[in-house]
Amino acid sequence: MTDTAEDRPESLFGRDSQFHRFFNDPRWALAMVRATVLEAAHPQVGAALMDNSTFVAHPWRRLHNTLISLQRMFGDDDQTRQREAARLNRLHARLHGSDARHRPYDAMDPHVRGWVVATLFESSVTMCRLSGQPLDQSTMERLYAEFKGFHAVLGDDGGQLPATLIEFWSYYDHMVEEELENTEALRIILYKLFDHLPAPPLLDGVPTIWAAGRTLAGPVIGTITVASLPEPFRRRAGLPEIPGAQTLMQGAYLATGLARFLPDNWIRTDSLTELLFRSPDGSDSSAGSRGFAGSGRGNLGDPQPVALTALRGRMKQAGALFRLVTSLPEQRGPAGASAPERSADEFFTAVLDQTGDGYLDWPDLAAMARELSSRLDLDEPEETKLYDAFAAWWRELQAALDIDGDGRVSKDEYAAAVPSLAGPALIRVAEVLFDATDKDGDEFIDADEYRALFRRAFGRTLPGADARYSRGAFVTEFLSFMSGRRRSTAYDPLFAGA
């Protein structure tokens, strides 16, 4: 019996997939938040998030990388999909440990990965139901087949997700009623993340407007998300039942669903992502990664930078007016953004503490290595070389700064030491990073190579008319930044940006 196009796994992906249609549906933003909460409620996922993820300190970076990964996995090109699956597997293989109750977690556990895929599927189905447009049976089965195909591409044997849609709902009910918990990661997402969400790069220069909007929107998003969760889990987790929350939640899904009638280019996820991740001067973006449409380079003749500059000017005026008529104090952007110096305390919080838990330990430096590997789209063995270099730097830092021997470095321990961290291990990190960035091996980093690493800051950071970095110049700037005191228009967006 010969297989047809419908039988082949490749037919589950690409532009004609149900997932691709949902990816550009505004309702999917609400569904993604809901799915993330359900993921975090799994004890293994919640523990992995708390120990390793940058979702607290750098939520926009996490969102951006997740969207790129999903688009690669569900795109048209099978080679891109296989490379992304391999990258995700390498990333997850590095995430293992134990939670506060000494229960082990492993991001490669196929049952855990099956639950993550299940939350994406179920939340997509739920968003349609809550917005008054429930999926018919055939569409639902098609969508389930696509997510099972996604799970299979990751290399799991497929037994973690039920074979049929009918069996899936029994599995889902069991997970909700028996396995999920009110984890710390879940509580942070619901009650802290949105209330303290930093501005995306585009709005970083208008913090008053952002703070006012966040103050209003944060509790509303949390309330909508809680109301959309399965009732058995809300009851078991002790999540509050707020009067009117169900009506608010259904209204939000219905209103968001109406946005799909806007012109396509207004609501495309890649366009919105490019907009949000443009730098404050509107001169560049980060959407040029493999998997996203458009170059995002801010070329001459591109009307977006001019329009964005005008928009930001209006927003600043609105912020000034808002401060005049309310008691809200002026909110400032990054302290002394134009000044080259920064305090040791600020450097620790903004750069070294990538996970936002108040300490420096291996997951923080691993997050740096992960972000650099993603920016440069590294394969093996370059990726492992970079991780190994950061691991050696962590051992050097731990030996020099961990005074009380608890296996991590506190802010006080860092501040009490001489913040000159440019030892042999950090120099090795700089050398390995240079080699990974210098794709053609000519011992210079040219404009395209530099863009791959510093895409949001590219427009203003290349010195000299030839736009080339020698090994020595690159290593010197990297060490100057990572030793803790010098600001950098290139490295700050890379490591300190939200």
pLDDT-wise least confident of 191-205, 351-365, 391-405, 459-473:
459-473
Instruction: Report, as an integer, the average pLDDT of 477-497.
Output: 82
Position 64 in a domain: yes
Locate 379 and state its tokens.
Answer: 């394969």
Is residue 30 located within the same domain as residue 155?
yes
CATH number of the domain encompassing residue 434: 1.10.238.10
Distance CA 424, CA 430 (A): 10
On whether both 92 and 128 belong to a single domain, the answer is: yes
Q: Which residues of 36-59 are buried (b: 16+ CB within 10 A; e: fewer)?
A: bbbbbbbbbbbbbbbbbbbbbbbb
The 8-class DSSP code of residue 331 comes to: P
pLDDT tens for 85-131 read 999 999 999 999 999 899 999 999 999 999 999 999 999 999 999 98
Under the banding of pLDDT at 50, 70 and 90, the label for residue 276 is low
Confidence of residue 205 (pLDDT cuts 50, 70, 90): low
Same domain, 310 and 369: no
List C-alpha distances in Å: 21 to 17, 18, 124, 295.
7, 5, 11, 22
Give the span between the Cα atoms of 249 and 30, in whole angstroms. 10
- Can you give the pLDDT at residue 491? 86
The pLDDT of 63-90, averaged and rounded, is 90
C-alpha radius of gyration, the chain, whole number? 23
Phi, psi of 242 (to 5 degrees): -95, 130
Phi-psi region of 146 (alpha: psi -120 to 50; beta: other; left: phi over 0): alpha
Task: Examine the domain organization and report whether 16 and 117 are in the same domain.
Answer: yes
Identify the band that residue 273 occupies on the pLDDT scale cut at 50, 70 and 90.
low
| Same domain for 286 and 398 | no
Quote the Cα angle for 371-65-57, to 5°: 65
Q: How many domains does the chain divide into?
A: 3
Residue 336 lies in a domain: no
> Are 208 and 76 part of one and the same domain?
yes
Does any domain span residue 267? no
DSSP per residue over 467-484, as a string? --EEHHHHHHHHHHHHTT
Is residue 290 predicted with pLDDT exceeding 60?
no
Higher pLDDT, 92 or 488: 92
E strands of 310-399, at which residues?
359-360
DSSP result, 172-215: HHHIIIII----HHHHHIIIIITTSPPPPGGGTT-HHHHHHHHH
- Write out the residue range of the structural domain in which residue 89 sits: 9-261
Judge contact between 66 and 56, C-beta under 8 A. no
Assess if residue 333 is contained within a domain.
no
Q: Residue 4 falls within a domain, yes or no?
A: no
Which of 234, 261, 288 is where one domain is finished? 261
Using omega within 30 degrees of 0 as the cis cutoff, is the peptide bond preceding 381 cis? yes
Pairing between β-strand 409-410 and β-strand 444-445 as defined by DSSP bridges: unpaired
Token pair of 401 as six digits: 């700064």
Same domain, 40 and 168: yes
Partnered with residue 469 across adjacent β-strands are 445
Comparing CA positions, the residue from 416, 415, 420, 419 lying closest to residue 345 is 415
Positions of E strands within 267-367: 359-360
Provide the phi-psi class of 292: left if phi over 0, else alpha when psi is between -120 and 50, else beta.
Answer: beta
Same domain, 126 and 170: yes
Q: Rounded CA gap, 79 and 8, in Å?
A: 15
**Side-chain half-sphere exposure of 387, counting CA atoms within 13 A:** 18
Strand partners, 461: none
Q: pTM here?
A: 0.80
- The answer to whether 15 and 76 are in contact (CB under 8 A) is yes
End-to-end CA distance of the chain: 53
